[in-house]
A = this chain, B = another copy of it.
């Protein structure tokens, strides 16, 4: 099998993650594996664990699992909760639903609010529900910061304020898989108890690592939690991490890449990273509007900085369209998932990305719309060109 036989030129991997892994990270990962019990590894681990806190905007520990993102969801639940505990979750889309299904499978009771995939979490509804829970049966509130299946971003700080307003002791667990390193996210300032993240989106790494940033309260809750746990257990992780070690074999080469990823984000500056993503998202939406297509997200305040989901006109299949884009233009777009399968496609504009990569992407979308005979107006590409030009650094001079 030939893994390296492709059409000419670079592939445009514009799904909402995994994202285009930059050469700097690929090359860092291409170094020989070292002894994970030796001094060189120890220095690496200490450095990475320190840098990660900056990326999560926290002074508290960030746990790194040698496992892909779904695992960090499980870790967040099994370390804080016990069989039969009630968790309040909000259905923003496919991934929120998967997390709920996981909670059910693990023996928790989950209650699902929301359900309009075009809208963000409603903090008022959460506050109301928590106020009604006078017995404090609800042990945790679980939300997805940026719903990867829909491109809808929720206000995490507002949910924190809602919990506080209700004077409810529930933990706040937040999935930031497609927002960390792309959209402003503040573990400490927003009072999050467990932040769940993965390596393959804003962190620009291949899949294979996932994260739990934890609060003191979350760590305490761990002691009372009775869900069985071993691989995901925070306890030994936290105690060994404190000295730069891991309780079992870590994914060394991915840690090489993670070290580079943190350096890259911090060198660019988190604010600059977030502004870059916001600008590309806006350019994308201007193109979508010029095409006269509909953005799935129904609330402009909730538009996602990392991806845009687009509704196909009635009678047109999103997957047929995506196939045209892949086969003609070497462009991978994200598919619609479950409820919106075939009905939306998604453009990922996150990670190691820039203006010309976005223009290649939007050009591919516009051309594929034409080839697939999807009704649309021309001009999306031109609209994005105009916006990017007028907001380029040189335009400010």
A residues sitting closer than 8 Å to B (CB atoms) are: 1, 3-13, 15, 17-24, 26-39, 43-44, 47, 65-71, 73-74, 78, 83, 101-102, 105-107, 198, 200, 206-208, 227-231, 233, 248-254, 256, 259, 264, 267-268, 273, 276, 324, 326-332, 335, 352-357, 359-361, 363-364, 366-367, 370-372, 378-379, 381-382, 385-386, 388-390, 392-395
Contact = CB atoms under 8 A, between A and B. Distances in A.
A215 to B, nearest CB: 23
A267 B330 CA distance: 17
Given A74-B230, A328-B394, A364-B356, A253 B29 contact: yes
B33 A207 contact: yes
B12 A356 contact: yes
20 contacts: A8-B22, A12-B356, A17-B249, A18-B249, A26-B30, A33-B206, A38-B326, A68-B251, A74-B231, A101-B230, A107-B228, A328-B355, A328-B393, A328-B394, A329-B392, A331-B356, A355-B367, A359-B359, A360-B363, A378-B386
Contacts of A352: 8-10
Contact of A10 (B250, B328, B331, B354): B354
Contacts of A7: 354
Contacts of A71: 66-67, 71, 231
Nearest to A51: B1
Contacts of A17: 249
A389 B360 contact: no
Contact of A27 (B31, B37, B101): B31
A243 B267 CA distance: 29
Contact of A24 (B4, B233, B385, B395): B4
A147 to B, nearest CB: 16
Contacts of A354: 7-10, 329-330
A68 B67 contact: yes
Contacts of A370: 389-390
A350 B87 CA distance: 47
Contacts of A207: 33, 36, 66, 249-253
Given A9-B22, A26-B32, 5 more contacts: A8-B276, A20-B32, A66-B208, A207-B250, A208-B251
A379 B381 CA distance: 10
A367 B388 contact: yes
Contacts of A386: 378
Nearest to A177: B249
A207 B29 CA distance: 12
Nearest to A227: B228
Contact of A33 (B21, B37, B256): B21
Nearest to A28: B3
Given A21-B33, A35-B332, A37-B335, A47 B355 contact: no
A320 to B, nearest CB: 11
A69 to B, nearest CB: 6
B68 A248 contact: yes
B252 A206 contact: yes
Contacts of A393: 327-328
A212 B158 CA distance: 43
A66 B31 CA distance: 20
Best-surrounded residue of A22, A268, A331 (most CB of chain B within 10 A): A22
Most chain B CB atoms below 10 A, which of A20, A228, A356, A361: A356
